[in-house]
A and B are shown apart, each in its own frame.
Chain A
Amino acid sequence: MSTILGAEIVFSRFMPSGMIPAALAQTAESFIIEGKHPGLLVLNDRPINAETPPHLLNDAVTPADKLFVRNNGIPPTNVNIENWTLTIGGESVKDAKIYTLADLKSKFKHHTYQLTLECGGNGRSEFNPPAKGNQWTTGAVGCPKWTGVRLKDVLLDCGIKDDAIYIGYHGADAHLSGDPSKAAISRGVPMNKALEDESLIAWAMNGEDLPIMNGFPLRLVFGGWPASTGGKWLKGIDIRNKVHDGTKMTGTAYRVPCEAVAPGSKVANEDMCIIENMPVKSLITFPKSGALHTLGEKFAVNGHAWAGDKAVVGMQISIDFGQTWLDIPVSKAVNRNAWQHWQTKVEFPKAGYYEVWAKATDSDGIAQPMILPGWNPKGYLNNACHRIAVKVV
């Protein structure tokens, strides 16, 4: 069907097989996201949310066109970078300031880091009872190279009062309802994360302007934390004397139960805790699931692994549904909060259906679960082992 239409079928996981989505067939262009690879799977077109199939994430550094899109509202259009400003304010700033993009680029030292960005809801589709929201599978993750200035350099330029505990961002994206008094999203991080070397106010991805859908012309990037903490189309940062209370910071948004609960439990808002660093996880990016392989030949497989603010220290794969595991080497990260790489070759003992499972272990000795991690009402933090299907003939 893709061949006929000349484009990857969007919404294909929600379409019955054999059905040609008429809207797409007639207006294929309208489903192509500007600046993005046509192989991304669009989960939602209003707001735009699209994930990257694992086999398109094989690059060591994620190309801009293959980084997922998770929008909460409507991105700004006709951005004029000459007029773009960033306002640093909040009750705990000593000296509120407004910077133009040119100010940021000229006043502060530039830094480039490769940082892993992952949606807190990546993997949501596997939870049962189902959690509402975009039903991400594995592809709301990527690790491009980001260039900008350190958030801490800018915050320190304005001065931070002693009572500061959090920062909160404000972006130029519009609320879906069109109500200008509402923010689509406004989240943040505690000061200790904000002041880390790798916390950036970025204007470039892989040496080029940010893609429109990933925050052009300016955004925050906090590697290893839910990507929602990294505000896109960044217009303001407030230094707060309390936990930031912007849109999608309160209630159950981007929170999980503070204590483990049984699947389907009702959890009171006060028993939900804000997600901070993301759990250890890995992805098989080569080959594509559904591979056919010839018995007797070695089967090459590779991918990435990451662990929030920690490092991945162990990597294993299994070809027998987790009954036995093969230890394989994993590369060192190019910098803190960047994903790491692994590759190996395996031999299959006989013909048949196999699944290759990948399992990473972090520097605290915590490994990925083979089934789902603890259920939570909003379907966050599914770091169950990724697996691909292989038929050996």
Chain B
Amino acid sequence: MNSKTLLQLGFATSLAFSAVSYAGQQLDKDTGLVIDDGFDIVKANCTACHSAALVNQNRMSRETWLETIRWMQEKQGLWPLMQNEVIILDYLEKHYSPTDSGRRKNLPEHLLPAEQ
């Protein structure tokens, strides 16, 4: 499958996706990815070989996302992203960047006692 076909696929997907709202963000129901500029490009290019979960459970700087793309291109057979690369990086940097946290976070909500 060449990148042009994938691009077309991406646009087709953008017409078909369904979303839910969370904290002001629209999330794609199938992938859990944030729906925003570049989402369809990301979905088309980044989930062809691996699960979207590998994107949405990670948090990286723009530089590290780019390093990861280069590694996938060098080692894993990812195609050249051409003009889509900057769109993908803008999207990942905006929504999947590291967040500040202390040296150990509080236990997450699903492990806390239920409200009485």
Give the interface of A toward B (CB within 8 A).
Answer: 11-23, 42-47, 126, 128-130, 132-135, 176-177, 179, 289-292, 353, 355, 370-372, 384, 387-391, 393
Contacts and interface: CB of A to CB of B under 8 A. Distances in A.
A14 B101 contact: no
A389 B112 contact: yes
B89 to A, nearest CB: 15
Given A14-B56, A23-B29, A390-B113, A176 B18 contact: no
B82 interface: no
Interface residues of B, number: 37
B22 A16 contact: yes
| 6 pairs of A and B residues whose beta carbons are closest in the complex | A391-B113, A22-B29, A16-B22, A289-B111, A177-B77, A46-B51
Nearest to B109: A17
B103 A44 contact: no
Contacts of A391: 113, 116
Interface string B94-116: 00001001011101111111101
A130 B105 CA distance: 13
Contacts of B23: 16
Given A177-B76, A292-B114, A390-B113, A371 B58 contact: no
Given A16-B23, A45-B51, A290 B113 contact: yes
B22 A14 contact: no
A52 to B, nearest CB: 15
9 contacts: A13-B57, A14-B56, A16-B22, A128-B103, A130-B58, A130-B59, A132-B68, A177-B77, A390-B113
Interface in B47-88: 49-51, 53-54, 56-61, 64, 68, 76-77
Interface string B5-36: 00000000000001010110001011010000
Interface of B: 18, 20, 22-23, 27, 29-30, 32, 49-51, 53-54, 56-61, 64, 68, 76-77, 98, 101, 103-105, 107-114, 116
Contacts of A129: 61, 98
A194 B112 CA distance: 43
Contacts of A15: 32
Given A176-B76, A393-B116, A21 B110 contact: no
Contacts of A44: 50-51, 53-54, 57
Contacts of B49: 46, 176-177
Given A43-B53, A46-B51, A126 B60 contact: no
Contacts of A371: 103-104
A331 to B, nearest CB: 26
A290 B59 CA distance: 27
